[in-house]
Amino acid sequence: MHNILITVPKLSEQGGVSNFWNSLFMVLNNYKSTNFTPLEIGGHGKNILGPIQDQLHFHKTLKQNYDLYLLNPSLLVRSFFRDGFFAKQLVKKKTPFVVFFHGWDIDFQKKIDTKHKTFFQNSFAHAKKIFVLSEEFKEKLYEWGYRGEVIVQTTTVDASLVNNFSLKQKREEKKLLNEPIKLLFISRLVKEKGVFELIEAFKSLSKKRENIELTVAGDGEAFNEIEERIKNQKNIKLTGFVEGKEKIELFKTSDIYILPSYTEGLPVSVLEAMLFGIPILTTQVGGLKRFFKNEQMGYFINTKDATDIEEKIELMLSSPEKMEEMSDFNYNYAQTYLTNEIVAKELYEHLKELL
């Protein structure tokens, strides 16, 4: 029996990385030859002793019989240094480890270029393999001096989300009920997600088209400002944070998914929308640059550009046959490449080579 320890955020809390690992553990735990143990870290809020507690908690695991460690940082200042010191502990103990970078902040990347490259070389650069979400991130790791294998991986979606979903039935019901075209945004409510440009674009489009609705789902610092901006807009719904059946229902009933982020890794919400056969409008950033197939999965939209968002929505609405082609493509692509069964198997094969 092999033993692998995986550092994770609190799995009971919502978030891209916790959702990713919750869905993978459902599959990985079926591999009887390997035991996967999660180590929850972070989530200390304003507790100034939290980072020290994480290092001590991690240090205790080094006394146990783990064959391999998998670290899960994001390229953000707190996570980078916290997990970098984890890596330093592993280097000192000569214990093999791999790294999976999830989020990737371009501004902090520039700081590594100028100030923290040596720290990277003394910590993460000792990993046996590194997983990232885009080719650009891969190239940057090599630029910083990494000499091991870098694997460009996708995030994943839980296949069970569509257990009771039929794309064909959705289309038949849509025609029968003559419902409005439903646009969907699900994300953290901060300006960097492009939510204000989306609302501006939708308001403009609503003056030309009556049979459309927009649902903005999520919570965050911009919630109150968004609420104020849409208070007289009857065809925009602000739901707050959604999960479980409520989130699934939004995906089931929506026709276009829009995420106009300024920066991203490879957002799970885009993949979830694809799983439900929804055409996508999103920006050419992060992992989306190489992953997203423009004009097949949907359309790229310009960042910070409400006019372009409006034009691309109009382009979709005026071509229902093209929308249906995109819908079919996304549904089939997600089933083939993005479910937790597929991604877990690929990850396990990479890890198994090191055991």
pLDDT digit string, tens, across residues 237-259: 999 999 889 999 999 999 999 99
Q: Band of the pLDDT at 156, cuts 50, 70, 90?
A: confident
Which letter does DSSP use for residue 90 in this model? H
In 3D space, the residue among 57, 16, 13, 15 whose CA is nearest the CA of residue 37 turns out to be 57
Architecture of domain 2-156+339-352: 3-Layer(aba) Sandwich (3.40)
Rounded to 5°, angle at Cα 258 from 252 and 259: 120
CA separation (Å) from 55 to 21, 84, 158? 21, 10, 31
For residue 194, CA distances in Å to 236, 301, 302, 306 come to 16, 11, 10, 9
Task: Look at the alpha carbons of 349, 353, 97, 148 in this order and tell me if their dihedral is positive or negative.
Answer: negative
> 46-63: per-residue pLDDT in tens?
777 888 999 999 999 999
**SS3 (DSSP) at 120:** helix
Q: How far apart are the C-alpha atoms of 338 and 307, rounded to whole Å? A: 31
Distances (CA, A) of 312 to 9, 299, 325: 36, 7, 16
Cα–Cα distance between 216 and 200 in angstroms, integer? 13
Q: Is the pTM of this model over 0.85?
A: no
What is the Cβ-side half-sphere exposure of residue 102, based on CA atoms within 13 angstroms? 21
Across the range 66-95, mean pLDDT stands at 96
Whole-number Å distance between alpha carbons of 120 and 116: 6
| pLDDT of res. 350 | 95
Question: What are the tens digits of pLDDT across the range 163-215?
Answer: 888 999 988 888 888 889 999 999 999 999 999 999 999 999 999 998 999 99
The mean per-residue pLDDT over the stretch 32-36 comes to 93
Break the chain into its structural domains and give their ranges: 2-156+339-352, 159-337
> Could you identify the residue written with the tokens 């019989």?
65
Q: Is 2-156+339-352's fold the same as 159-337's?
A: yes
**Of 10-19, 22-31, 318-327, where does the model show the most confidence?**
318-327
pLDDT in tens, 254-304: 999 999 999 887 888 999 999 999 999 999 998 888 889 999 999 999 999
Tokens standing for residue 7: 């550092």
- Domain 159-337: give its CATH superfamily: Glycogen Phosphorylase B; (3.40.50.2000)
